[in-house]
């Protein structure tokens, strides 16, 4: 992946080459912003989009200057309005077993870096599943969410049957998946599918500010906290508490614990990262 410098609405950023125009990647300070860029088809997911996301993740995982990732969609109508139906027609049993989109979303969920979905419009099917694979979901007031795959004679196969119930509860997940009902941002907030709802014009600033807040914390503490919360939720409480204890032990032995404690006692902001 190569880099070129470009100007953006929020100032100068570093453009990262994803190998395709259907996914744009830009480094804004220590925050990588990935944008699905097919607004003419409401950012529908196709093989090119998946390739672009994978290429971006390959680079972000190698970089030392990235502390968080924001995912969003181009335009004002859609975050990602689902998979490209024209490609779906040709899918076979082999494609189902390959489960490329599910595996990609697993990779996003397991990314060491904190991830924030800035949902700027429709998040349907694979788009909703993409948002759910992120750690935090910030929605514009006009966003819409749903898993309408049963209308097409399939089910939400990129993690939707599993992640939705873990976020909103089994009963609500079953109702949404079986009926294919689309909900608005306020209902998504009420049931726990998203973490906040803001005016559309404030969406990206809110997502970047959230990333900035996380970046002010201890980097190792953030990574271990994400690991423990995610994996602890998949096991029994006793095992989760063991993970918590082991992670805390590692942090007690790390340098950033001393910086955090000293900064608190000295009534100053902690400096966990080198100053730019």
- 180-193: per-residue pLDDT in tens? 999 999 999 999 99
Active-site choice (40, 76, 149, 234): 149
User: What is the tens place of the pLDDT at every residue in 124-162?
Assistant: 999 999 999 999 999 999 999 999 999 989 999 999 999
Asked whether residue 226 falls in the same domain as residue 201, the answer is: no
Q: Is 142 in the same domain as 184?
A: yes
115-119 and 183-184 beta bridge pairing? unpaired
- Name the DSSP class of 41: G
**pTM for this model (two decimals):** 0.89
Residue 270 forms part of a structural domain: no
- Least confident range of 66-70, 83-87, 243-247, 269-273: 83-87
- Whether residue 131 contacts residue 147, with contact meaning beta carbons closer than 8 Å, is answered with no
9, pLDDT greater than 80:
no
pLDDT at 259: 86
For residue 274, being part of any structural domain is answered with: no
Q: Are residues 151 and 105 in the same domain?
A: yes
Is 244 a catalytic site residue? no
Provide the residue range defining the domain that includes 237: 219-265
Is 271 a member of any domain?
no
Residue 242 in 3-state DSSP?
helix
Residue 64 φ then ψ, to 5°: -90, -15
Within this chain, do residues 147 and 115 fall inside the same structural domain, yes or no? yes
Angle between helices 237-252 and 255-265 (to 10 degrees): 80
The string of pLDDT tens digits covering residues 68-116 is 999 999 998 999 998 777 777 788 888 888 889 999 999 999 999 999 9
The region that residue 132 occupies, defined by phi over 0 for left and psi between -120 and 50 for alpha, beta otherwise, is alpha
Residue 275 is assigned to a structural domain of this protein? no
What gap in Å lies between CA 216 and CA 222, rounded to an integer?
A: 10
Q: Which candidate in 3, 61, 64, 129 is catalytic?
A: 129
Same domain, yes or no: 185 and 242: no
Task: Between 267 and 116, name the one with better pLDDT.
Answer: 116
- Does the annotation mark 129 as catalytic? yes
Mark whether 130 and 48 lie in a shared domain: yes
Average model confidence (pLDDT) for the chain?
Answer: 90
So what's the pLDDT on residue 29?
Answer: 92
Q: Are residues 37 and 153 in the same domain?
A: yes
- Check residue 2 and give its pLDDT: 42
Write down the pLDDT at residue 258.
87
Distance CA 238, CA 152 (A): 41
**Is 18 part of any domain?**
yes
DSSP helix/strand/coil, 56: helix
| pLDDT recorded at residue 133 | 97
pLDDT at residue 6 in the model: 40
Domain for residue 257, yes or no?
yes
Could you tell me whether strands 183-184 and 144-146 are parallel, antiparallel, or unpaired per DSSP bridges?
antiparallel
- Residue 276 pLDDT exceeds 50: no
* C-alpha span between 20 and 35 (Å, rounded): 12
pLDDT-derived band at 4 (thresholds 50, 70, 90) equals: very low
């Amino acid at each position: 992946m190569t880099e070129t410098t470009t100007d953006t609405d929020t100032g100068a950023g570093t453009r990262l080459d994803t190998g395709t125009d259907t996914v744009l990647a830009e480094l804004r300070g220590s925050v990588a912003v990935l944008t699905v860029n097919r607004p003419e088809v409401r950012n529908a997911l196709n093989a090119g989009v998946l390739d672009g996301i994978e290429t971006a993740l390959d680079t972000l995982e190698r970089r030392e200057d990235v502390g968080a990732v924001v995912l969003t969609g181009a335009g004002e109508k859609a975050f990602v309005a689902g998979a490209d139906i024209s490609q779906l027609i040709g899918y076979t049993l082999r494609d189902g077993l390959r489960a490329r989109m599910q595996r990609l979303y697993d990779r996003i969920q397991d990314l060491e870096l904190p991830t924030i979905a800035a949902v700027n419009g429709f998040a349907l099917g694979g788009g909703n599943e993409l948002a759910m694979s992120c750690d935090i979901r910030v929605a514009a007031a006009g966003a819409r969410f749903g898993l309408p795959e049963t209308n097409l004679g399939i089910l939400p196969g990129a993690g939707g049957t599993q992640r939705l119930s873990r976020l909103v509860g089994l009963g609500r997940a079953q109702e949404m998946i079986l009926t294919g009902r689309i909900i608005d941002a306020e209902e998504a907030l009420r049931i726990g599918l998203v973490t906040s709802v803001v005016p559309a014009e404030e969406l990206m600033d809110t997502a970047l500010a959230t990333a900035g807040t996380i970046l002010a914390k201890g980097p190792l503490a953030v990574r271990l906290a994400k690991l423990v919360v995610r994996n602890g939720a998949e096991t029994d409480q006793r095992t989760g508490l063991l993970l918590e204890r082991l992670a805390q032990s590692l942090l007690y032995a790390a340098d950033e614990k001393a910086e955090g404690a000293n900064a608190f006692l000295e009534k100053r902001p902690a400096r966990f990262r080198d100053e730019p």
